[in-house]
């Protein structure tokens, strides 16, 4: 097939590579404009760099749907299909009408669940057992097009980066399969059930703040969902730290914090260490129960979180075992 590929971040690169390996002709790659990094250095998007490595011309319009020169260039090429993977702009009818067979998207969720910009993070945040990729035909809505094929993987203990890489490879294989179905006339599309749709909005830096009034399980999910960006963070002894690895403590009895539930993600609840009936010591949410080489145990609104890896400002990530060699964390310390 004659293809135009639209994509920007790392997630899209394996898809581009697989399409080329499968023998498709990618006439143009469209990616977001270059940005400036530290000291004004120009940074190419991962997709642009991959395209240049393959010797493919890269187009970078500010707004593809309103760029007349860009639309003419793509129309003159007359692609069979356009493949869109995390491009970063919503395509309007002027673009969607260009390819003969349509525009197709690799979306990192099991649609209609988790439409939007951050489906991988939200699959972990919301405690889904599985995450997946759906190939759909793009319409003028936001991830609302008819679905062709999908596949999924068990999330388990994966963090964002691990799940992102796994889904990217799944998406690459699915897109090659999808084009085989489309070119052979065997593609069967299924409309999405809008009543089952959910939305995964943009992640903000402040979303990473930990509220220990939440359950240990949900905090663990936040830590894994926000690794590496924006990171899950809290204050400890007057210093903002990032928590990179943790796990809920497995106990026979769930313990609940003695303090009242805090309002808002930034709230801090203080309380003294008390004795839970039949379940050992626990404290108000955010209170350190113990700290040793196995981890820092912190009481949550429900359950106990064991912190395994953290990071001080300006320092590298470190295990709690190594951190405690040079720092002390006292029982009763309040984190929030």
Mean pLDDT of the chain: 91
Return the percentage of the chain with pLDDT > 70, whole number. Answer: 90
* pLDDT tens figures, 160-190: 999 999 999 999 999 999 999 999 999 999 9
- CATH fold of 2-200 reads Rossmann fold (3.40.50)
CA distance 12 to 4: 13
How high is the pLDDT of residue 36? Answer: 83
How high is the pLDDT of residue 113? Answer: 98
The average pLDDT across 270-296 equals 68
Which of 116, 156, 149, 154 is CA-nearest to residue 133?
A: 149
Residue 51 has pLDDT above 80, yes or no: yes
* pLDDT tens figures, 11-34: 999 999 999 999 999 999 999 999
How high is the pLDDT of residue 41? Answer: 86
Residue 84 has pLDDT above 80, yes or no: yes
Q: What is the CA radius of gyration of the chain?
A: 24
Residue 94 has pLDDT above 70, yes or no: yes
Residue 269 structure tokens: 């609840």
Query: What are the residue boundaries of the structural domains of the chain, listed by start?
Result: 2-200, 205-326
How high is the pLDDT of residue 258? Answer: 52
Residue 262 has pLDDT above 90, yes or no: no
Q: How far is CA 288 from CA 17, 291, 292, 301, 330, in A?
A: 48, 7, 11, 13, 7
* pLDDT tens figures, 203-247: 999 999 999 999 999 999 999 999 999 999 999 999 999 999 999
- pLDDT band at residue 280 under the 50/70/90 scheme: very low
* pLDDT tens figures, 126-158: 999 999 999 999 999 999 999 999 999 999 999
Residue 255 has pLDDT above 70, yes or no: no
Rounded to 10 degrees, what is the CA torsion of 13, 14, 15, 17?
90
How high is the pLDDT of residue 269? Answer: 33
The average pLDDT across 37-58 equals 92
Return the percentage of the chain with pLDDT > 90, whole number. Answer: 87
CATH superfamily assigned to domain 205-326:
Formyl transferase, C-terminal domain (3.10.25.10)
How high is the pLDDT of residue 256? Answer: 58
How high is the pLDDT of residue 283? Answer: 83
Residue 243: HSE in the Cβ half-sphere, 13 Å Cα cutoff: 30
Q: How far is CA 126 from CA 129, 154, 218, in A?
A: 9, 14, 8
């Amino acid at each position: 097939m004659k293809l135009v590929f639209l994509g920007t971040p790392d997630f899209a690169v394996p898809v581009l590579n697989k399409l080329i390996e499968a023998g498709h002709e990618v006439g143009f790659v469209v990616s977001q404009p270059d940005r400036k990094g530290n000291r004004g250095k120009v940074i190419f998007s991962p997709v642009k760099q991959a395209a240049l490595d393959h010797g493919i011309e890269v187009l970078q319009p500010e707004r593809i749907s309103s760029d007349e020169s860009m639309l003419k260039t793509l129309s003159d090429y007359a692609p069979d299909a356009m493949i869109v993977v995390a491009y970063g702009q919503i395509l309007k009818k002027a673009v969607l009408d260009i390819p003969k067979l349509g525009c197709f998207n690799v979306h990192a969720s099991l649609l209609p669940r988790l439409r939007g910009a951050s489906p991988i993070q939200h699959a972990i945040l919301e405690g889904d057992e599985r995450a997946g990729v759906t190939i759909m035909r793009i319409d003028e809505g936001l991830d609302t097009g008819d679905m062709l094929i999908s596949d999924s993987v068990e999330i388990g203990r994966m963090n964002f980066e691990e799940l992102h890489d796994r889904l990217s490879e799944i998406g690459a294989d699915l897109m090659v399969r999808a084009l085989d179905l489309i070119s052979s006339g065997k593609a069967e599309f299924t409309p999405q059930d809008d009543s089952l749709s959910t939305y995964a909005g943009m992640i903000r830096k402040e979303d990473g703040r930990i509220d220990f009034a939440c359950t240990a399980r949900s905090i663990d999910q936040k830590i894994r969902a926000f690794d590496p960006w924006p990171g899950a963070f809290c204050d400890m002894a007057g210093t903002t730290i990032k928590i990179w690895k943790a796990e809920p403590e497995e106990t026979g009895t769930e313990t609940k914090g003695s303090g009242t539930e805090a309002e808002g993600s930034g709230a801090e609840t203080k309380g003294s260490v008390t004795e839970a009936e039949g379940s050992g010591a626990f404290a108000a949410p955010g209170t350190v129960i113990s700290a040793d080489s196995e981890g820092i145990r912190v009481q949550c609104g429900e359950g106990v979180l064991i912190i395994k890896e953290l990071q001080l400002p300006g320092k590298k990530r470190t295990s709690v075992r190594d951190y405690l060699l040079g720092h002390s964390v006292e029982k009763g310390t309040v984190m929030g």
